[in-house]
């Protein structure tokens, strides 16, 4: 994973510059995130775990910076730990007393669709941790899952990392356009966004996907385990199960992000970190429990 802090001056013409933390778990050398960091042309800092493999030996410090760029940091921890390190330790150094306006996680190498993946994804985990800290945050997960270094970026606009960076720029710009962050938050408290970008690559007829508003549920999958008939070992498969697709929250008429991002569309879902069941569902359950459990055990 890595976390970077960037001042996004050049993206914004009218409103004040944004203080942004960038984070990902695919290594700080990942083509996807380096490209996006370059589109944010001011100072950048990053923290990363995977990079330990490339740049540090056992016994190396738990965090450090790129030898060529003192503003890029790696951090040896989970994605959520890296973003918290960015929030608590790196941001005050880079932004002083100015607040962090946005955390951007990704673009991840691979999509993170549906509620099951939402809970286990490092990219989304860093995002909801930032939201829980009170900072607006957006996860970006790209369909192209090839793990590759920024040094393999062809520089062509059609390079999958550059196409994904363009989607990130467009969405961050749409989110921040005409918002004065000293007066208004980019997203309400407790709310974040998860964006799934379709697959870009050679031979795939998709370069500038339209954005579609989606919900996490709808065509989503959860794991099912079967036993491999040859080896006898358990194998995980994707199952489109009813529970993971129960549509309780969100905009009912929006399509699911899973089928949407499987085509040439960017799926834009808005989530909350309030995991309580809605009152209309919780209250009848409480009523039934109250009736059936001894009075001294429940209020």
Q: Give the footprint of ligand NAG on this chain (CB under 6 A).
A: 15-16, 144, 146, 159-160, 180, 182-183, 199, 201-202, 204-205, 264
Closest approach, Cβ 176 to ligand NAG, in A, equals 12
Say which of 7, 45, 51, 141 is annotated catalytic: 141
Q: Please tell me the distance from the alpha carbon of residue 216 to that of residue 271, in angstroms, as a whole number.
A: 8
Q: Please, which residues have CB within 8 angstroms of residue 235's CB and are 6 or more apart in sequence?
A: 225, 226, 227, 228
Q: Which residue is nearest to ligand NAG (CB)?
A: 201
Task: Give least dist CB 31 to ligand NAG, A.
Answer: 8
Q: Shortest approach of ligand NAG to residue 210 CB, angstroms? A: 9
Nearer to ligand NAG, 15 or 69 (CB): 15
Q: Minimum CB separation from ligand NAG for residue 93, in Å?
A: 24
Q: Which is closer to ligand NAG, CB of 157 or CB of 180? A: 180
- Cα dihedral sign for 191, 26, 141, 247? negative
Helix (H, G, I), strand (E, B) or coil at 163: helix
Distances (CA, A) of 139 to 21, 44, 191, 268, 292: 12, 18, 12, 10, 43
* Beta-carbon contacts of residue 27 (< 8 Å; ≥ 6 apart): 2, 48, 49, 50, 51, 53, 54, 147, 149
Query: What is the SS3 assignment for 96?
Result: coil
Per the annotation, the verdict on 141 as an active-site residue is yes
Q: Which residues are known catalytic residues?
A: 141
């Amino acid at each position: 994973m890595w976390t970077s802090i960037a001042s996004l001056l050049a993206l914004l013409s009218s409103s004040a510059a944004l203080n942004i933390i960038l984070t990902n778990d695919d290594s700080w050398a990942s083509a996807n995130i380096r490209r996006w960091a370059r589109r944010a042309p001011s100072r950048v800092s990053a923290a990363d775990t995977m990079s330990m493999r490339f740049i540090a030996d056992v016994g190396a410090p738990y965090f450090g910076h790129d030898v060529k760029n003192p503003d890029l940091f790696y951090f040896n921890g989970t994605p959520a730990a890296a973003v918290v390190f960015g929030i608590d330790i790196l941001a005050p150094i880079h932004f002083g007393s100015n607040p962090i306006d946005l955390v951007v996680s990704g673009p991840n190498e691979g999509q993170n669709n549906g509620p099951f993946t939402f809970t286990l994804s490092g990219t989304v985990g860093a995002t909801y941790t930032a939201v829980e800290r009170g900072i607006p945050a957006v996860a970006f997960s790209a369909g192209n899952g090839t793990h590759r270094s920024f040094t393999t970026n062809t520089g062509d606009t059609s390079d999958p990392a550059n196409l994904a960076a363009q989607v990130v720029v467009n969405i961050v710009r749409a989110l921040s356009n005409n918002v004065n962050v000293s007066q208004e938050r980019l997203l309400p408290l407790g709310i974040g966004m998860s964006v799934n970008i379709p697959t870009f690559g050679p031979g795939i007829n998709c370069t500038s996907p339209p954005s579609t508003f989606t919900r996490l549920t709808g065509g989503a999958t959860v794991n099912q385990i079967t036993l491999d008939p040859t080896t006898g070992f358990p194998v995980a498969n994707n199952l489109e199960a009813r529970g993971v697709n129960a549509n309780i929250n969100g905009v009912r008429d929006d399509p699911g992000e899973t089928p949407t991002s499987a085509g040439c569309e960017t799926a834009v879902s808005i989530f909350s970190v309030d995991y309580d069941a809605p009152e209309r569902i919780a209250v009848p359950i409480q009523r039934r429990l109250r009736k059936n459990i001894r009075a001294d055990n429940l209020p």
